[in-house]
Structure 1
Amino acid sequence: MQSGTLPKVELHCHLEGTITPDFALKLAEKRGVDLKALGNRDGTYSWHDFTSFLKAYDKVSDLLNRPQDYYDLTLDHLTRAAGQGVIYTEFFLSADHGRRINIDYADMVEAIDEACRHAEEASGIICRLISTCVRHLGPDAALDVARETCARSHPRVTGFGMGGDERCHHPSEFTPAFAMAHEAGLGCTVHAGEFGGPESVSSALDCLPVTRIGHGVRAAESPDLVKRLVDEQIVLEVCPGSNIALGLYESLAAHPLPALLAAGVAITVSSDDPPFFHTDMQAEYETLETVFGLSHSQINDLNCTGLQAAFVDEDTRKSLINRL
């Protein structure tokens, strides 16, 4: 069995970040939007650093302007993921993006939920959602997202997180938003240790009720922090392809995933924003095998870690573990 055919579990993926160039082009044609500035000749998205990536991401995301668009995107993403062997996935949805393009949060969630149900009926893939605030929009906006998520709860939405520009604001500023989500019973995760360094992870753990860290790879620079991750059983949502595309490391050979694993850190592997970073779950798993030298048993252990850390009910968790 090749790693590409192994069952897969993904915990870190942004729904708006799954828009393929072909999907974006179809939406742009409907809207009369010119996407030439975003595209390369080979049909991929054009950006050169994290700041320009965020701008490209926002422009592509703004093409979604109806609940039907979210249904179509979700079904497209889950169909492709299931075709690569993904049996369980969580992805981030952004109420802030919806608000900016005048889509009601509840309508967005219902459209996504319907697509998740149809995808599960067709392929067996199971999905949960993480409502996510955007760090660089500030703590007040984050609190608004938390309020809306909790006030308009949905069984498909089982987590709360924060993405965006990690270089903005201290984690302590978002304590009220995360405390609200945590008290409502939502699992919590936060992007840290990507561009903010190991201190970003430490601050997040000090200030927020998180059990998972999105990325977190810069923790490898601090032995004390690595020990803390192991001791507190914090799970890292590692996205190697994203880390290379955004220039965190010069090559996969320089990536700290093997070192973190060897130190006993709990790790899962995901694709983040696959079309933007020229990756997908199949490519990530091939990297685990061919670059990092993991055996199929070790890769399956990562899947088990992902399911143990998943924001999902216990009956579903046990069923998924049996499928592995």
Structure 2
Amino acid sequence: MRDIPKVELHLHLEGGAPPAFIRGLAKEKSVDLSGIFRADGGYTYRDFWHFLQVYEAATSVLTSPDDYARLTTAVLEESAANGVVYSETFLSPDFCGGGDVGAWREYLHAIREAADRAEAQHGITLRGIITCIRHFGPERARPIAECAAQTAGDWITGFGMAGDELKGKPADFKWAFDCAREAGLRITVHAGEWGGAQSVRDALDALQPDRIGHGVQAIDDLALVDRLAEDGIVLEVCPGSNVFLGVCKDWRSHPIEKLRERGVKVTVSTDDPPFFGITMTSDYENLNRHFGWDEEVFAEVNRTALEAAFCDAATKEKIAKRLGTKAP
């Protein structure tokens, strides 16, 4: 399972930070983050909303472009070790320069340089999707969308929204998404992880995304499931994350296979892997164990992911060769 070449579309860059990396950075900066780690060194939290607080505490020691360059290196080394050949990562100028375009450009330059080195060393290609943070509110999303529009191109290829789905409505963020779309960016939205099937409907109706992050709660509304299938909306499913956080009570009850059988385009990603003690390899092993997914199914899912990737045609052709398939 580790050696299957994989495409990952839903990975938060800060959420990929190994605990040891954050502990080391905190020690360098004399910041006490002991409260966010378990005795064995992993991250600790009570529930999803406490996880958001721990996540933001961990990111608090990432304060410079160099910090983000080092983070990018650490994350991509781990992804490549689990067979990932192409990754799209969520980046927020909220954490990288406070929403200032000039500062964001400096962070982006450092991240891209680190990504280029990782591609040369490990054969993994990275592209960025800028996200606004839902629980920061729609006004805060505006400068983030402007950062996205100013740096849109061959590397920053998408715009999305992460954070607490229970805060606000997708329609509240329409200005930010229109700004990003006008700059040529593709659209993805987190929905259907905590907000129910209706949150997926709301995101589709208000923001017209190409992809939905998570989306698994759509299974509770079969008419919505059929709409996703008919419209070709791709779900960035993060099964290990869903099981760990309690979105689904266990692997057997996860709806990824039911969604796939009903014609929905599903992909597999890890979301914030070290926070959940998972990897792409462990998710593939669990999909094989619980749903009988074999190399043929994984190849199909990775082709779907490549087709749905927000990168350009030349990049897709390069990645297709790594997957051993034809470019979409």
Q: TM-score range by the shorter chain?
A: over 0.9
Cα distance per residue 1:152-211 (max 9 Å; x no partner) = 335311110100000001111111111111111111100000000000000100010311
SS of residue in 2 equivalent to 1:276: helix
Change (3 A) 1:291 1:297: same
Task: Determine the C-alpha separation between the residues in 2 that align with 1:320 and 1:153.
Answer: 21
State the match for 2:284 in structure 1.
285
Match of residue 26 from structure 1: 24
CA distance in 2, matches of 1:82, 1:263: 31
Alignment equivalent of 1:15, drawn from 8, 13, 16: 13
Deviates more, 1:283-292 or 1:206-215: 283-292
Which residue in the other structure is 2:121 paired with? 122
- SS of corresponding position for 1:5: coil
Within a 5 Å distance, the mapping from 1:206-217 to structure 2 comes to 206-217=205-216
What is the Cα deviation at residue 101 of structure 1? 10
Q: Distance in 1 between matches of 2:203 and 2:79?
A: 30
Deviates more, 1:289-298 or 1:6-15: 289-298
The 8 Å contact of residues 162 and 190 in structure 1, kept in 2 or not, is answered as yes
Q: State the percentage of identical aligned residues.
A: 44
The answer for the alignment partner of 2:49 in structure 1 is 51
Q: 2:73 aligned to 69, 72, 75, which one?
A: 75
Contact 1:129 1:159 in 2 (8 A): yes
Determine the C-alpha separation between the residues in 1 that align with 2:152 and 2:214: 27
Q: Which runs of 5+ in 1 are unaligned?
A: none
The one-letter amino acid paired with 2:263 is G
Give the Å deviation of 1:20: 1.2
Which residue of the partner structure matches residue 97 of structure 1?
95
- Mapped to 1, the partners of 2:97 and 2:175 lie a distance apart of 21
- The CA distance in 2 between the partners of 1:78 and 1:149, in whole Å, is 22
Q: Which amino acid aligns with 1:43?
A: G
Counterparts of 1:37 and 1:100 in 2: how far apart (Å)?
A: 25
- Report the count of equivalent residues: 322
Write the distance in 2 (CA, Å) between the matches of 1:270 and 1:180: 27
Taking structure 1 as the reference length, what is the TM-score of the superposition? 0.97
Contact 1:237–1:267 (CA under 8 A) maintained in structure 2: yes
Give 2:318's aligned residue: 319
Query: Is the 8 Å Cα contact of residues 192 and 215 (structure 1) preserved in structure 2?
Result: yes
Task: For 1:219 and 1:293, locate their aligned partners in 2 and report how far apart those are by CA, in whole Å.
Answer: 23
Deviation (angstroms), 1:56: 0.1
Aligned amino acid, residue 59 of structure 1: A
In 1, Cα distance between equivalents of 2:41 and 2:259:
35
Q: Which runs of 4+ in 1 moved over 6 A?
A: none
**What's 2:60 paired with?**
62
Pick from 32, 38, 41: which aligns with 2:39?
41
Query: What are structure 2's unaligned runs of at least 5 residues?
Result: 324-328
Letter in 2 for 1:49: D
